[in-house]
Amino acid sequence: MTKTSSKASVPLLIEGRNISAAYCGLLLHIADNPGVEVSPLVLTVDGFTADYSIPEDTAVRSTLDALLAKKGKTSVEDVAFTIFPEQLWIMSQGDRAKLFQFYRWSFPFYRARHKANSRGLYFERLTMFGSGPCDGNQLEWILSEWNKRDGVRDSMAQATTFDPARDHTASAQLKFPCLQHVSFVPTTTGLVVNAFYATQQIFDKAYGNYLGLAQLGAFMAHEMKMPLARLNVNVGVAKLERIGKTDSAMTPLMNAARACVAPPPSAGLVSTPTSLPAA
């Protein structure tokens, strides 16, 4: 491996009306251009609903999940869970204290379940960082500060997953954490979520990353009593690895991707169920 594998270039901007369309735009850019890498990438998604559900294209989601299963990779839902445990939030019935408690109880099981989780999970770092106010629960600190006073500085609502004490290591490969940082920006139209990745795997991680971040954003927006307006994802290096873009198994996914970006915004969309009430 050389020390200069990536190129310095103008960021690629991908815009999507939902996370499926944004993912498809990225996938098709890779398919239709030389190489398998985008560096850097700026991906932005809007079109979120008032009830905090996450619109998706069912054909894209099901086709991707089938391909992930065929290649022995983690499902979209399981990748998203590493960023936000949606099922625990549904079980908590809108009580975030219960959500955090359920997660603390369950985390040892989640970490032991997969070898890839041995160094931690993103929601664990966001809520059980190991230091800081609220016993290291960065999300609780942001929400409690936001809700107890009228004015807060824009830089207050940010949380980190990267910890130099644990993550500055000379290992040749380090699968976690690729997501470094998340910030939450309240605006007149709703909450904007900004996520920052050093690297991102397009095939087996990116869609789940976008879903988990959107679910995290919906949770934070609900607790801040505002709509979710936009998700911005900034990636230093996004790569299509662990599958070739000319692999025949990719054909159904590419077909679904082209269909997704072609129809009107309302065609073929469903929303991921949520337990959250409307704003």
Its pTM surpasses 0.85 = yes
Whether residue 157 is predicted with pLDDT greater than 60 in this model: the reply is yes
Q: What is the pLDDT of residue 1?
A: 45
In a domain, 17, yes or no: yes
In a domain, 35, yes or no: yes
Q: What is the pLDDT of residues 14-58, one digit of tens each?
A: 999 999 999 999 999 999 999 999 999 999 999 999 999 999 999
Which backbone phi and psi does 69 adopt, to 5 degrees? -65, -40
Domain CATH code at residue 208: 3.30.572
User: What confidence tier does 4 reach under pLDDT thresholds 50, 70, 90?
Assistant: low
Average pLDDT score over residue span 150-177: 71
CA 165 vs CA 113, 123, 130, 161, 176: distances in Å: 24, 18, 11, 12, 14
In a domain, 268, yes or no: no
Whether residue 151 is predicted with pLDDT greater than 90 in this model: the reply is no
In a domain, 1, yes or no: no
The total number of structural domains that make up the chain:
1
In a domain, 159, yes or no: yes
The answer for residues whose C-beta is within 8 angstroms of residue 51's C-beta and 6 or more apart is: 271, 274, 276, 277, 278
Whether residue 179 is predicted with pLDDT greater than 70 in this model: the reply is yes
Q: What is the pLDDT of residue 3?
A: 56
Q: What is the pLDDT of residues 208-249, one digit of tens each?
A: 999 999 999 999 999 999 999 999 999 999 999 989 999 999
Whether residue 271 is predicted with pLDDT greater than 90 in this model: the reply is no
Residues of the domain holding 127 = 12-261
How many whole angstroms separate alpha carbon 162 and alpha carbon 114?
20
In a domain, 113, yes or no: yes
